[in-house]
Structure 1
Amino acid sequence: MPEVFLGLVPGWGGATILPKLIGPEKAVQVIMLNALNNNTMMKAKDALGLGVVDAVFEPADFLEKSVAFAAAILSGSTKIERKDYSSDPAWDSALATGKAAAHKKFGGADLAAPRTALELIAAAKTNTRGAGFDAEDQALADLTMSDPLRASLYAFNLIQKKKKKVEGAPKSNLARKVNKVGVVGAGLMASQLALLLVRNLKCPVVMTDIDQERADKGVAWVKAELQKLVEKKRMSAEAAARLAGLVSGSADKSIYAGCDFVIEAIFEELSLKQELFKSLEAIVSPECVLATNTSSLSVEKMSTGMKNPERVVGFHFFNPVAVMPLLEIARTSHTDDATTATAVEVGKNLKKTMIICKDAPGFVVNRLLTRFMGEITDAVDEGTDPSVADNAMRSIGFPMSPFELLGLVGPGVALHVAETLHENLGPRYRISPTMQAMVKEGVKTFYVKGDDGTVSANPAALALIHKGSTPSTAEEVSDRALHALAEEARMMLDEGVVKTPAEIDLCMLMGAGWPMHLGGILPYLDRTGVSEKVSGQRFHAPGIASVLK
């Protein structure tokens, strides 16, 4: 049931009858947990197991068996027993489970749709059918005229549209055929790329690293992941064996001969990538696309001194590669349409949602995220209590706090991106002394989990905080972070990094996992007045992703 996912609640008795029909635990699963898990859809067998339906028939004889089933019910030869769940002891625990799921999904923010859905489920225990229907009608009337619903619908439609059509993509007939792929590197990210490529392109994938042992390790990882899919019954043993046979590794770059598409995922050092691309150019054909998975370095600078810089393109995935749906394709001033079209075609085959952006520092997601996170770390460096700064955005509904995200990304990566953006975009991307200290001392997370499962601030991280003397309140931290997002997004549009505000929203939805009820981020900045306060104009016209007032 997609209603809570979109910012609504089930109507037509969905939130009233279902708990009475299948009980509170299963109702919370269907109405809340499935919806909050990226709108997980029920299969027919799942609906039967939960008791949502009483019978399931195959398509070939569906009509005949359905009529026979109905006739048996009417004649009394088949009886369906219904359980009375009004005294079920699981009501409180089921509602607590739903509340915990909403708390986790939205970072502790109190959002109307999940809260109202739980209230309707709780009321179903004692409500008459009529009273339950009336409560649903009132809830739907309230939610329908809300900005979060309008933003969610905007986000949903945007995602569906951009899955099918990539803004600014050249004609697809310009794309070259890709029959062999190369992956430079055999570390975790490179191995994830190799797995994704071989699963979806089903063509030979060759990997290299600085020695044969490392290359073999990357190939072994790919094959082990294929075997896991077999064990989970998501792939047949025969299919896994065929794919495994397509993956090979070497320390010799000459194996890239004959490749139509090569992507590098080596250490984020510009000089290394420049040297790599020059060496590859002597091995592959002039038509072979050379792609980089860099997160922040200049793609154009990587092609400096090359004979065919027009075949170089940014091809930036997000981690974990198999899960995160966004792919940023970055064109340099030299990248030609055939290269871009080929990159888009590969992305489509990988089932990714894509945006084409200008080759600019940080592209879209990392540029905005780094500016946003930088305001939080700056506040801490200035003397703000870390818990105040990190929780300042909780009410907005981000899936995780900035310091939780830092633990996922890693301080080393975050610092490298910040340094790159500082060098290329200026002092608004400040380098945090606290972050530098964490990287120097090898402290990888701001939070640690105790033996009892409780999460607390990492003492090692707290000891490294650069303690300033100008602390901010939570409201001040939130304001500066939102203002920074609005300022940076406006700059990106003015610079032509992307063409439309919708592309920025798509990136934050699909690349950063920011929630639907924000519409990405720009609709939220519009409806709270931040956009106009920062730049004197909205990103979207009134009524787009919001209620027209």
Structure 2
Amino acid sequence: MNINSNSYRHWQLEVNAEGVVWATLDKVGESTNSLSAAVMDELARILDELDSHPPKGLVFRSGKPAGFIAGADIQEFSLVDSAERGIELVARGWQLFNRLAAVSYPTLALVRGHCLGGGLELALACRYLLAVDEPTTRMGLPEVMLGIVPGWGGMLRLPERIGPQAALDMMLTGKTIDAKKARRLGLADDCVPARVMDNAAASLVLAEQPRRRPPMLQRLLNGPFKGLVAAGARKQVAKRARAEHYPAPYAIIDIWARYQGNALAAPELIDNIFRSATARNLVRVFFLQERLKGFGKGTEFRARRVHVVGAGVMGGDIAAWCALRGLSVTLQDQGMERIAPALQRAYAVWRQRVRDARELRNIMDRLIPDPDGHGARHADVVIEAIFENLDAKRELLASLERVMRPEALLATNTSSLKIEDLRGVLTRPARLIGIHFFNPVAKMPLVEVVAAEGSDPEIVQRGNAFVRQIDRLPLPVRSAPGFLVNAVLGPYMLEAMRAVDEGLTPETIDEAMLAFGMPMGPIELIDMVGLDVAMAAGSSLAGAGATPPACLLARFNAGHLGKKVGKGFYDYPNGRPAKGPAGAVPAGLAARLVKPLLERTQQLVSDGIVADADLADAGVIFGTGFAPFTGGPLNYLRNQHA
């Protein structure tokens, strides 16, 4: 058969000897494939051409090394400003993918790398899905993270393919799965190594193999028992997100249960979601995240070896995270008895996360105890993560500089000391930067990259690149007490403790901020941080010369240091806070508690600690969990005054 491949800008078509058409998406001018209007229009034209000359089979694949398809074009979604444009956007993909699903010839999606959102919806519209077994292959429908729904067939076809419970879990959380799990769930028909992927795809698309159907129970749950599944899903979502803040997950449940996954059958839901403040702000957060990722570009620096000094909770967890991300890590402290707990903690955490025993062993083999500090001589990155004592840190940094390679990156994980005060002992003071992680390291995506006056710009850029290399978001900040994140949390937590001193219960205070949209109340946050840490940071919490709040001082003196000892403002009998009823929340309490955080964020932008308001919003969202649906504290403040 003859194919006119030259008439397409983003797609390349070729036909093999068996009559199978290979459609390769390689979006012009982009490093990642996305389903823009132009790409979708060309796909419709391809289907027109194949209607006239049906092939033996059709295989979709990517021409990008970065992955299959990242999803719809988010820039186009951000332009939706009317109900009509929202419906038009949904209809474009729903109708096209229904057409693809109905073609007479077999179709297959060859998924290598990320396959997300609209990309997975295209793959679901194919008869077969072949996953390539590589670490970068991830599949998911993360639209809920943008405050929208998978309206191009995902809400119909994913429950049909893998059953509603697994499908709703993916759609309501935005989580992704790897190639092996995709095969296990039935999302992928097979999972193969990259070296045989083309041959395997060519064979499978012509095999006339029936798709594996979900078990009978799953088919019943996707049919007559939908109501039971939907009710259970709503209860689970309600534990994590309030409908007034995040309407999208509730809409996903309703569209699946009541409209067979067809968002066009519920235009009022689509309009409410696509033009909601939540969707607008979550798209804003997406672009803020992309901006943070961009700070890791601009240098060829790539670390292979990392040396961490300090095997406490922070240092040990930093080392464990770097090992998980593929780096060889040496962990130093004063003797094996101090290092061993960090290794045990890492093993316990990664054993839950990494199911492959060989991969787990490889991770742990990369995490090397080094009580004598030999690894500092060979490391590309050296991170000081000992306790917050100026003299101890200065002595350690000076000793590290004497043995480190001249080109190696030297960083401190200090959370409260200024870089200027630490670097005076160095022969090359401009080489020291801050790389400040947050607890828990494995869950908090933000890392502050701290520069002082006169810091070497190339070293700072290498710090940003290192943070991205280990799959974290770098936020450039200037050296100042508390930098950005801790500096805004201090007055927020202080105000919460003042409210306790005035007689409000911790439960009432936390409930006020949970209702505001915070992922955790400020009192529980203090317990998680540690009351000893709050006391140590007293000058930034209470102001110079001021006494700590009475409620903090009393608990600290009693040894009630928070979650880590099982007792703080709350008791922790099973690792979770034992809370009583919150009672009635006084009017205006949330506004009172958040006001100091908003004011301090504004001040830090004015002082140049962070470059601009957008970066401040990004830092506070990803560093504290500040209600993402607001678009960040300063965006929230602007909207309040609009």
TM-score (norm 2): 0.66
Task: Give distance in 2, aligned partners of 1:28 and 1:195.
Answer: 33
Contact kept? 1:189, 1:265, Cα under 8 Å: yes
Q: 3-state SS of the aligned residue for 1:447?
A: coil
Task: Give distance in 1, aligned partners of 2:191 and 2:405.
Answer: 55
Task: Give distance in 1, aligned partners of 2:379 and 2:203.
Answer: 55
Residues 142/420 of structure 1: CA separation in 2 closer, same or farther (3 Å cut):
closer
1:324 to 2:441 alignment: no
Q: What is the aligned counterpart of 2:237 among 89, 93, 102?
A: 102
Structure 1 segments unaligned to the other structure (5+ residues) = 463-471, 533-549
Q: 3-state SS of the aligned residue for 2:587?
A: helix
* Equivalence for 1:441: 558
Q: What is the aligned counterpart of 1:400 among 520, 529, 549?
A: 520
Contact kept? 1:9, 1:136, Cα under 8 Å: no
* Equivalence for 2:167: 30
Task: Give distance in 2, aligned partners of 1:324 and 1:408.
Answer: 13
1:335 to 2:460 alignment: no
Please list the CA deviations of residues 478-498 of structure 1 after superposition, one character each: whole Å capped at 9, or x if unmatched. Answer: 112232222111101110011
Q: Give the residue type in structure 1 aligned to 2:241.
A: F
* Equivalence for 1:115: 250
Contact kept? 1:9, 1:116, Cα under 8 Å: yes
Contact kept? 1:380, 1:386, Cα under 8 Å: yes
Task: State the shift of 1:314 in Å.
Answer: 0.9
Task: State the shift of 1:151 in Å.
Answer: 0.5
* Equivalence for 1:188: 313
* Equivalences for residues 17-416 of structure 1 within 5 A: 21=160, 26-31=163-168, 33-37=169-173, 39-43=174-178, 59-63=198-202, 65-69=204-208, 83=219, 85=221, 88=224, 91-92=227-228, 94-106=229-241, 111-124=246-259, 133=263, 135-166=265-296, 171-172=298-299, 180-200=305-325, 202-203=327-328, 205-209=330-334, 212-217=335-340, 220-221=343-344, 224=347, 228=351, 232-233=355-356, 235-236=358-359, 239-240=362-363, 243-244=366-367, 247-250=368-371, 252=372, 256-284=376-404, 287-416=407-536
Contact kept? 1:183, 1:206, Cα under 8 Å: yes
* Equivalence for 2:548: 431
Q: Give the residue type in structure 2 aligned to 1:249.
A: D
1:528 to 2:640 alignment: yes
Task: State the shift of 1:367 in Å.
Answer: 1.4
Q: Give the residue type in structure 1 aligned to 2:459.
A: T
Residues 347/14 of structure 1: CA separation in 2 closer, same or farther (3 Å cut):
closer
Task: Give distance in 2, aligned partners of 1:318 and 1:136.
Answer: 42
Task: State the shift of 1:357 in Å.
Answer: 0.5
Task: Give distance in 1, aligned partners of 2:161 and 2:328.
Answer: 47
Q: Give the residue type in structure 2 aligned to 1:485.
A: L
Please list the CA deviations of residues 239-297 of structure 1 after superposition, one character each: whole Å capped at 9, or x if unmatched. Answer: 347525xx2322x4576345443211111122322232233344445554431111122
Task: Give distance in 2, aligned partners of 1:45 and 1:199.
Answer: 19
Task: Give distance in 2, aligned partners of 1:227 and 1:98.
Answer: 28
Q: 3-state SS of the aligned residue for 1:100?
A: helix
Task: State the shift of 1:85 in Å.
Answer: 4.8
Q: 3-state SS of the aligned residue for 1:267?
A: coil
Q: 3-state SS of the aligned residue for 1:172?
A: coil
Task: Give distance in 2, aligned partners of 1:312 and 1:191.
Answer: 21
Please list the CA deviations of residues 87-119 of structure 1 after superposition, one character each: whole Å capped at 9, or x if unmatched. Answer: 745733x33432333233237965322233333
CA RMSD, 1 decimal: 3.9
1:500 to 2:612 alignment: yes
Task: State the shift of 1:316 in Å.
Answer: 0.5
TM-score (norm 1): 0.76
Q: 3-state SS of the aligned residue for 1:475?
A: coil
Task: Give distance in 2, aligned partners of 1:230 and 1:498.
Answer: 34
Contact kept? 1:108, 1:397, Cα under 8 Å: no
Residues 87/521 of structure 1: CA separation in 2 closer, same or farther (3 Å cut):
same
Q: Give the residue type in structure 2 aligned to 1:3.
A: E
Task: Give distance in 2, aligned partners of 1:257 and 1:110.
Answer: 51
Residues 160/406 of structure 1: CA separation in 2 closer, same or farther (3 Å cut):
same
Task: State the shift of 1:162 in Å.
Answer: 2.3
| Greater strand share, structure number | 2
Residues 152/87 of structure 1: CA separation in 2 closer, same or farther (3 Å cut):
closer
Task: Give distance in 1, aligned partners of 2:177 and 2:444.
Answer: 22
Q: Which has the higher contact order (CA 8 A, sep 6+)?
A: 1
Q: Give the residue type in structure 1 aligned to 2:142.
A: P
Residues 411/108 of structure 1: CA separation in 2 closer, same or farther (3 Å cut):
farther
Residues 525/100 of structure 1: CA separation in 2 closer, same or farther (3 Å cut):
farther
* Equivalence for 1:539: none
* Equivalence for 1:467: none
Contact kept? 1:368, 1:485, Cα under 8 Å: yes
Task: Give distance in 2, aligned partners of 1:80 and 1:291.
Answer: 52
Out of 140-149 and 371-380, give the one that drifted further: 371-380
* Equivalence for 2:578: 455
Task: Give distance in 1, aligned partners of 2:254 and 2:205.
Answer: 35
Contact kept? 2:295, 2:465, Cα under 8 Å: no
Q: What is the aligned counterpart of 1:478 among 590, 604, 611?
A: 590
Q: 3-state SS of the aligned residue for 1:313?
A: strand
Task: Give distance in 1, aligned partners of 2:303 and 2:154.
Answer: 48
Residues 316/217 of structure 1: CA separation in 2 closer, same or farther (3 Å cut):
same
Please list the CA deviations of residues 138-158 of structure 1 after superposition, one character each: whole Å capped at 9, or x if unmatched. Answer: 201111111100001111222
Task: Give distance in 1, aligned partners of 2:543 and 2:396.
Answer: 23
Task: Give distance in 2, aligned partners of 1:53 and 1:278.
Answer: 54
Q: Give the residue type in structure 2 aligned to 1:343.
A: G
1:490 to 2:602 alignment: yes
Task: Give distance in 2, aligned partners of 1:231 and 1:36.
Answer: 23
Q: Give the residue type in structure 1 aligned to 2:287.
A: N
Out of 449-458 and 392-401, give the one that drifted further: 449-458
Residues 380/288 of structure 1: CA separation in 2 closer, same or farther (3 Å cut):
same
Residues 309/204 of structure 1: CA separation in 2 closer, same or farther (3 Å cut):
same
Q: 3-state SS of the aligned residue for 2:588?
A: helix
Task: Give distance in 2, aligned partners of 1:473 and 1:237.
Answer: 47
Residues 279/96 of structure 1: CA separation in 2 closer, same or farther (3 Å cut):
same
Residues 68/362 of structure 1: CA separation in 2 closer, same or farther (3 Å cut):
same
Task: Give distance in 2, aligned partners of 1:143 and 1:185.
Answer: 47
* Equivalence for 1:537: none
Please list the CA deviations of residues 444-501 of structure 1 after superposition, one character each: whole Å capped at 9, or x if unmatched. Answer: 233335689993249xxx9xxxxxxxxx963322112232222111101110011122
Task: Give distance in 1, aligned partners of 2:557 and 2:430.
Answer: 39
State the number of aligned residues. 489
* Equivalence for 1:547: none
